[in-house]
A and B are shown apart, each in its own frame.
Chain A
Amino acid sequence: MKGDKIIIALDAGKFAIQTTAVAGVVEVEKLPFLPGRAGFVTGIISFRNEPVAVVDLAMALGDFSPAERSTHKVIVLRDKGRTLGMDIGEAALSFLWDEEIGGKTTDEKGLFTSGRIYAKDSTIEIIDWPALFNETSRMLTTEENVKKSPNS
């Protein structure tokens, strides 16, 4: 759990993700429709001429309350050639440098969270981005299989 982190301030709380997993942050006004999308997969964007599937982070973390958003801030994750966009809406972003992380960091796991940072003034959940990758891949793969073999 070492390394600098980007802190995402959602309505449900603060969440952290390692900067090493982040390829970049873009902002789009509308998310183009992704055919076969399901669950918290909300659309697709183009990041450096590469299509990136986008998931709604709040929805992925269990907040299904509808929210009107004029802009969509998308954090693009890259892992071993795979990319995934996390739509955080208009949530504010900040940095938490590694040397600034005080307090206690635990391995308490949750839905798509792999640990917890007990900072001085708040508690920050660490996003389990590989699990998010896997679940997204699973959902997209399952949908594709369903479309390919409608009788199965």
Chain B
Amino acid sequence: MNIRIPIGYKFILGFIAVVAAAAFVPGLVEKLDVAEWMKQPLSFLIAILVGLILGSFFIRNFTRDFNRITSVARRISKGDLTDAEKLDSDSQTRLIKDEIGDLAQAVALMSESLKTLVEQIKSTVSDLTDAQESFSSVVSRGHETSKEVISGTSAIFDGALEQANHVGDASSTVKAMAELADEVAGKVTESANASQKVNTMVQRGAMAATSAMEKMETIFNGIENTESAAIRLKEKLGDIPKILDVITHISRQTDLLALNATIEASKAGEHGRGFAMVAEEVRRFADNTNNSVEDVSFIVKELRVEVERVVASASEGTANLKGGRDDLRKIREILVDITNYTSEVAEKASIILGLTHKQKEKAGKTVEIIEQVAHIAKENLSSTERVESAVERHGTAINETITAAEKLSELSKELKAVVARFSL
């Protein structure tokens, strides 16, 4: 059974004991056999001695526990929690309890709690160290992964950029192809129209050529007739000089006759003047005839030259007639072939025109699809840019996490070192 006496009461009891000793000391001294003058100083000394003894007892009683608590507290402060349990056991064994006992119990309890806490902290530090190592490992792997992700994202970005460029190039190429297809369609349309016109013109040309060939056949016949006519004309022209010679001879004879008549008229004197004048006129007539015959002879000569040329030309033309007829026959056959081929070309041009229009439509749709693909590629590129930015931020966060993990590791080590200071 423990009695609880607060410290204040102990102080009061001590004070009372000192006062009672001081009060009872003079009566005791009176009873002693000492000189009178010594009784008062002796009483005083005894009273002080009693007071010192009692005071010393109380002080020792008080300070002993305080020193123990202080010593334990100092050891606790140094991490030694081994002696705290004794404070509690001592306080439990005391008969009289006071605030010091409470303090010792509290210190012991605090030490126990601290011990439990330190043990928990140790356990936690151990777990924290393991967790930090795992975390550091994970963060390290995350950092490596982040690097790979950044590298991969960069490669994806480059790929997306290259893809966007390729798609842009492909779009431009396909647009150019579409424009080319459009242009080709226009040209093919023109070509089809032209081939149609050519076909029509060839048909007309064939008809005109056939008509021309028939007329050429007529011309060939005319050339043959011309040759025979020219030969006959040449023969007839050969007769003209003979006639002209006769006329020339007659005119010269007439001239001579007129000359002689004039001479004879001259011999007749004045009477023959009129006859002489007539004879002179006859001479002039004969001279004119002669001149005309000369002119005609000259013309006939030129005409003969021309006729000979005509005959030669007609002969040459006749000689070439056979070749010309063969050529005409070949031209007729070639015209038939050209007409057939032209019709075939026109039909094929129409087919090509239809196919070209279909190709144009397909090219237009292809352009639309390529534009959509280009749009998607641009969006992918933009998304890749965002992903790359996010990955870069993630890398930065990973770096920060690594830094934090390193700090945490240091803190864990420090905490471990701190906890290691405690002896349990």
Contact = CB atoms under 8 A, between A and B. Distances in A.
A and B associate: yes
Interface of A: 3-4, 6, 19-20, 22, 24-27, 71, 93, 95, 97
B262 interface: yes
Contact of B256 (A22, A27, A97): A27
A95 B262 contact: yes
A19 B256 contact: no
Nearest to A5: B266
Interface in B257-285: 259-260, 262-263, 266-267, 273, 276, 280
B304 interface: no
Given A19-B266, A97-B266, 9 more contacts: A6-B263, A24-B260, A25-B259, A25-B263, A26-B256, A27-B252, A27-B253, A95-B266, A97-B273
A72 B259 CA distance: 15
B259 A93 contact: yes
Interface residues of B, number: 12
5 contacts: A3-B266, A6-B263, A24-B263, A25-B260, A26-B256
Interface in B294-319: none
A85 to B, nearest CB: 14
A3 B269 CA distance: 9
A25 B263 CA distance: 9
A78 to B, nearest CB: 11
B18 to A, nearest CB: 210
Contacts of A6: 263
Contact of A19 (B252, B263, B273, B280): B263
Contacts of A97: 266, 273
Q: Main secondary structure on chain A at its contact with chain B?
A: strand
Contacts of B262: 95
Nearest to B280: A95
Q: Top 9 closest A-B pairs, CB basis?
A: A19-B266, A4-B266, A24-B260, A25-B259, A22-B263, A19-B263, A27-B256, A25-B256, A25-B260
A20 B276 CA distance: 14
Contacts of A26: 256
A92 to B, nearest CB: 9
Contacts of B259: 25, 93
Contacts of B267: 19-20
Contacts of A24: 260, 263
A76 to B, nearest CB: 10
Nearest to B252: A27
A97 to B, nearest CB: 8
Nearest to A24: B260
Nearest to B249: A27
A38 B256 CA distance: 28
B368 to A, nearest CB: 105
Contacts of A19: 263, 266-267
B337 to A, nearest CB: 67
Nearest to A95: B262
Contacts of A95: 262, 266, 276, 280
A22 B273 CA distance: 17
Contacts of B260: 24-25
A133 B20 CA distance: 239
Interface string B173-191: 0000000000000000000
Interface string B52-67: 0000000000000000
A100 B259 CA distance: 18
For B263, B267, B273, B276, the residue with the greatest tally of chain A CB atoms inside 10 Å of its CB is B263
A22 B390 CA distance: 150
Most buried by A among B252, B260, B273: B260
